[in-house]
Amino acid sequence: MRFAVIVFPGTWSDKDCGDVLTNVFHQEVDYVWHKETDLSSYDCAILPGGFSYGDYLRAGAIARFSPVMEQVTQMANDGRLVIGICNGFQILCESGLLPGVLTRNAHLQYRCQWTQLRVENTRLPFTNNCEQDQILKIPISHGEGNYFAPPDILDRLNRNGQIAFRYSNASGNITDEDNPNGSLDNIAGIVNENGNVLGMMPHPERSCEANLGSIDGSFIFESMIDSYLAQQPAKLST
Amino acid sequence: MSIDQKTLDEIALTRAEYEVLVERLDREPNHLELGIVGLLWSEHCGYQHSKPLLRLFESDAPHVLIGAGKENAGAVDIGDNLAIVMKVESHNHPSAIEPYEGAATGVGGIVRDIFSMGARPIALLNSLFFGPLSDARNRYLYEGVVSGISGYGNCLGIPDVGGQITFADAYSRNPLVNAMCVGIAKHEDVILAQTGESGNVLLLVGADTGRDGIHGATFASVELDTESEERRPAVQVGNPFLEKLLLEACLEAAQTGALVGMQDLGAGGLTSSAIECASNDGTGIDLDVALVPRREDGMTPYEVMLSESQERMLMIVAPENVDKIQSIFDRWDLHSVAIGHVTDDGMARIREKGEIVAEMPVRIITDPPLYRLAGVEDTKMEAIRSSTIDDLDNDPTEKTLLKILNSSNIGDRQSVYQQYDHQVMNNTVVAPGADAAVLRIQGTTKGIALKTDTNGRYCWSNPFIGGAIAVAETARNLICMGARPLALTNCLNFANPEKLEIYYQLEQCILGMQQASNSLSVPVISGNVSLYNESEDGPILPTPLVGMVGLIDNIDKHCTPAFKNAGDLVYVVGSQKLEQDETTLGASEYLSVMQHETKGTPSIDLDLESLIQDFVLKTIDKQLIQSAHDVSDGGIAVAIAESCIWGEIGLSGDTHALNGSKDASLFGEAQSRIVLSVTPENSDQFESLAKEGNIPFFKLGTVQGTNLDLPGIVNLTVDEMTLAWKNALAESVEKR
Amino acid sequence: MFLAKVYVTLKPLVNDPQGIAILGGLHNMGYKSVEGVRAGKYLELHINETDKAKAEKVVTEMAQKLLANVVIEDFRFELDPIQ
């Protein structure tokens, strides 16, 4: 599977994502500068975390106009996989590929901490290796991760199974205490209507190696790789 | 002499120094030249008072690649052809005026010091010192500084893995903001601040130059009015986004092998950056200020040369490589402009549109007059050291322990650390909060442990011993993680060194640090000095911050301070019994919390320290140790309470005879002690190794249950200790 | 009752990273005619005073003490009477 890790000016999780995909999951990875305009050879685009354009004005607001975003939109329309992590989620929302917005954390502070995510929909290409209501230990690191959507959109997200993850406690209860940023209904990650574009605030690439504290992020990357492989026609051996 | 006092005052040059300059030049300097020399001969750039003392530090050891005083930062070898580059720097004064931007630009400056050497920054640490949070101004400074560090550091994608936060009255109005940055580079990629040969091109890259941070001198020749005040922004606003681009572009440039030298523009701006490079190589420079990209119109040569605008870097490149380097900066949408070249005549020559506006020999202006004073101790200190420590054991021990766990210097710092991204780069194996942070080194089996530490109270009470303890304790922290200390950097925060009692503190602290660094074989590889930290409220405590890096050969063998499993045996090494006498409470946290006083004096036996550190490192390496935690502020009671809190498990103590004061035994801060836990299977081997090594030790008890229970001495649930400890900072903010 | 519209901006010569980044973004989108951007804050305060001079005084005070950091920022405001 070929991954394009998109690098905007100010991106910083690019290398973390690339390293994990290469060293842990043994996939092909290219770092793609935001001025590139051809993503036709990639199966998945990752929009990593960071502060694209310093997050000045609004997080993701300037990055969405980068030339590469036209091709990211094309990938989303083609049904190829797109995952926005942290700042990448913010860019996907600003660009309209995902509904809703990410506003400043309710307590107004930056938060870097471990969170527990309840998997809400296991039929997605990002979660189909998980069990329903499985709890994933994955850290967050952001100042603007407070998800908001108007009631009609929230309703649609719920009806269509577009909510991928919610912040929860260890037993899977959705509580205010376990909501690290004030997100509406503890939403931590959502997908588009077709289910091939995921945005999530937590950093799965930070939780794929045991000595960093958790390997639960692997469920997400492995789901993506497995669902890609499942779609490929069986190759004839020569 | 025609020079007036006002002009001299504004560039902080004494009349005697001015006369030295005139004699050396054999003429009067012009206004720009005087400004340049004022900058280079300031304490900040020229280390006039501290340099003779800093020479006392030795930095030679086989693994030291770059020692103290030679470059922007020191460097040590960690094997695998990798070098660790590190430095700590202060941004105290700017943070006192505008805490957010002051702290933010402090982070920016120290990070540039590291990547200007071609090293990728992999960690930040901060040691912060404030007055008590009960005061509104202190709260404002504390909150502003923490969010400034968070705002700038997080944007760069460099993990901030901890440090230290200390509160004491002496830091009210004089906050200290020290930032340490650690970088990694392949040996061959390390870039020095040098010019190479004549003809090489000076490329100025990064931000445009504005009138930021120019000292009062700028307006020396004009009458100060409201309008000119408006024109002089005292506080610089950092641009972390631009710094991130500059970081990536500079490292990309460094990898090309086409850079001769690189030097950041920090305090002293273009002046000290360009002239220091020339000084290092015995060359000269010839540059034209008209070529410098400006943020503002109408800037004079004086303003351009003295501007301290952030996020700028000077590169020295051979003429044939200029295009290659410039294309990298173009790709990152950053300016890179040739502003001059290296010469072989040893002159610092500054032009404006071709016309020479300043011209002085580099050798003369980079050799400031140095001052070696004879320090004298404040006469009251002897009485403070020898005063009796009494009035102990007034409260039930449980109440005292909870009070200390709930105090602002002991309580949990998680509310601060969680505002820093401490995980980005995917190397953080032990997050902030433990004795030291541990990072893995990708591509190897290795890890490094990092820590910054000092104790101003100890240094005030006895500067020599305090300096020695600062080094010993920081090393001990690394040892507890299973790391062998490799090298230290420092930031010497003191008050006005022209006062002899302050000079005495500075000198004695340095001597103490040097002795400990010799005893423990931890060379000093870089340092920074911040003097004149005093306000009308008085001087700060002498605060010689130590930053240290240690190496873990096999990251899987690293140790942590949390108790692990029920049944593990708890030992204390460095002492044969729990009982300690009153003198161990000298200058302790206990006296500060319970009696609001600093009296008595700390002490340390460096031979014992060295013995204990070697032993603990060896037993961790043999994987005999389940947990290791240094006994420091708050004594053994706080150390074991923390190991219980982190491990979420109790400790059931053996019977210990305490004939004297309970408080002294529990809260005394006798040095060189470490609390270890060991599985029952390994305990025989552990004990026999300790006996073989003549290590003083005793068995304290067993990890088990829900309580910290030392029979007849103290008994508390882990839950109530956790609550007191976790709420300490929030509650001290509320105590208004 | 007055509505105070308070504008807080960086002093003219203080570095404005946000403005610089927004300018760069606009240029990248093709808006070449924009030559400078300075970013600031806009606040609306409802002031329960009947006397305009008093309202002016209290807004000035609040702006100096909290809304603006006068070390690096300027402020100005408009006062409109409201119901």
Task: Give the ipTM.
Answer: 0.95
Instruction: Work out how many CB contacts closer than 8 A connect A with C.
Output: 25
CB spacing of A57 vs C39 below 8 angstroms: yes
pTM, entire model: 0.93
Q: Catalytic: B91? A: yes
Q: Which residues on chain C place their C-beta less than 8 Å from a C-beta of chain B?
A: 10-17, 20-21, 24, 69, 71-72
CB spacing of B157 vs A50 below 8 angstroms: yes
Strand partners, B183: B85, B121
Q: Is residue A108 part of a domain?
A: yes
Cβ-contact A167, A116 below 8 angstroms: yes
pLDDT at C43: 93
Chain A, nearest residue to C41 by Cα = A57
Q: Is B649 left (phi over 0), alpha (psi -120 to 50) or beta?
A: beta
**pLDDT, tens digit (0-9, with 9 covering 90-100), for B372-410:** 888 999 999 999 999 999 999 999 999 999 999 999 999
What mean pLDDT comes out for the span A12-19? 98
The Cα–Cα gap between C35 and C37 comes to: 7
pLDDT at B216: 39
CB spacing of A9 vs B150 below 8 angstroms: no
What's the count of helices (H) and strands (E) in chain A, helices before strands?
A: 5, 11
**pLDDT, tens digit (0-9, with 9 covering 90-100), for C46-61:** 999 999 999 999 999 9
Q: Which residues on chain A place their C-beta less than 8 Å from a C-beta of chain C?
A: 53-54, 56-57, 61-62, 65-66
CB spacing of A141 vs B421 below 8 angstroms: yes
Residue B514 has pLDDT above 90, yes or no: yes
Closest in A56, A65, A66 to C18, CB measured: A56
Cβ contacts of A54 on chain C, cutoff 8 Å: 17-18, 21
Count other Cβ atoms within 10 Å, centred on residue B80.
Answer: 12
CB spacing of B429 vs A12 below 8 angstroms: no
The alpha carbon of residue C27 is apart from the nearest alpha carbon of chain A, in Å, by: 11
Q: Is residue A238 part of a domain?
A: no
Interface test with A, best of B417, B421, B557, B558 (most A CBs within 10 A): B421
All CATH 3.90.650.10 domain ranges in chain B, comma separated: 5-48+192-365, 569-734
CB spacing of C22 vs A54 below 8 angstroms: no
List the subunits that have 3+ CB pairs under 8 angstroms with A. Answer: B, C
CB spacing of B244 vs A109 below 8 angstroms: no
Interface test with B, best of C15, C28, C69 (most B CBs within 10 A): C15
| Lowest pLDDT segment from A215-224, B91-100, B343-352 | B91-100
Superfamily classification of domain B5-48+192-365: PurM-like C-terminal domain (3.90.650.10)
The Cα–Cα gap between B570 and B86 comes to: 35
Cβ contacts of C21 on chain B, cutoff 8 Å: 241
Contacts of C51 (CB under 8 A, 6+ apart): none
What mean pLDDT comes out for the span A176-186? 97
Residue B224 has pLDDT above 50, yes or no: no
Q: Is residue A237 part of a domain?
A: no
Instruction: For chain B, give the mean pLDDT.
Output: 93
Cβ contacts of C29 on chain A, cutoff 8 Å: 65
Residue among B44, B49, B215, B422 flagged as catalytic: B44
Structure tokens that stand for A57 in this block: 């004005």
What mean pLDDT comes out for the span B705-717? 97
Residue B662 has pLDDT above 60, yes or no: yes
CB spacing of B151 vs A20 below 8 angstroms: no
Cβ contacts of C22 on chain A, cutoff 8 Å: 56-57, 62
Q: How many domains does chain A have?
A: 1
Superfamily classification of domain B569-734: PurM-like C-terminal domain (3.90.650.10)
Residue B431 has pLDDT above 50, yes or no: yes
3-state secondary structure B617-680: HHHHHCCCCCEEEECCCCHHHHHHHHHHHHHCCCEEECCCCCCCCHHHHHHCCCCCCEEEEECH
The Cα–Cα gap between B655 and B579 comes to: 12
Chain A, nearest residue to B238 by Cα = A54
The alpha carbon of residue C18 is apart from the nearest alpha carbon of chain A, in Å, by: 5
pLDDT at A231: 86
Cβ contacts of B429 on chain A, cutoff 8 Å: 211-212
Q: Are strands B651-653 and B707-710 parallel, antiparallel or unpaired?
A: parallel
Burial class (CB in 10 A: 0-12, 13-18, 19+), B570: buried
CATH number at residue A198: 3.40.50.880
CB spacing of B212 vs C15 below 8 angstroms: yes
Structure tokens that stand for B35 in this block: 């400004």
Q: Is residue A123 part of a domain?
A: yes
Q: Catalytic: B335? A: no
The Cα–Cα gap between C72 and B102 comes to: 12
CB spacing of B239 vs A54 below 8 angstroms: yes
Q: What Rg value do the Cα atoms of chain B yield, rounded?
A: 26
| Lowest pLDDT segment from A184-198, B291-305, B347-361 | B291-305
What mean pLDDT comes out for the span A107-127? 96
Residue C21 has pLDDT above 90, yes or no: no
**Among B285, B290, B343, B356, which Cα is nearest to B314's?**
B285
Chain A, nearest residue to C30 by Cα = A65
What mean pLDDT comes out for the span B313-323? 97
CB spacing of A53 vs C39 below 8 angstroms: no
The alpha carbon of residue A75 is apart from the nearest alpha carbon of chain C, in Å, by: 22
Q: What angle is formed at CA B587 by the lines to CA B585 and CA B592, rounded to 5 degrees?
A: 90
**Among B179, B191, B21, which Cα is nearest to B107's?**
B179
Q: Residue B735 — very low, low, confident or very high, per pLDDT cuts 50/70/90?
A: low
Q: How many domains does chain C have?
A: 1
Burial of B25-39, coded b for 16+ CB within 10 Å and e otherwise, reads: beeebebbbbbbbbb
Within chain A, strands assigned E span 2-7, 28-33, 44-47, 81-85, 101-103, 111-119, 135-142, 146-148, 163-168, 187-191, 197-200
Cβ contacts of C39 on chain A, cutoff 8 Å: 56-57
Query: Which of residues B641 and B237 earns the better pLDDT score?
Result: B641
CATH number at residue C18: 3.30.1280.10
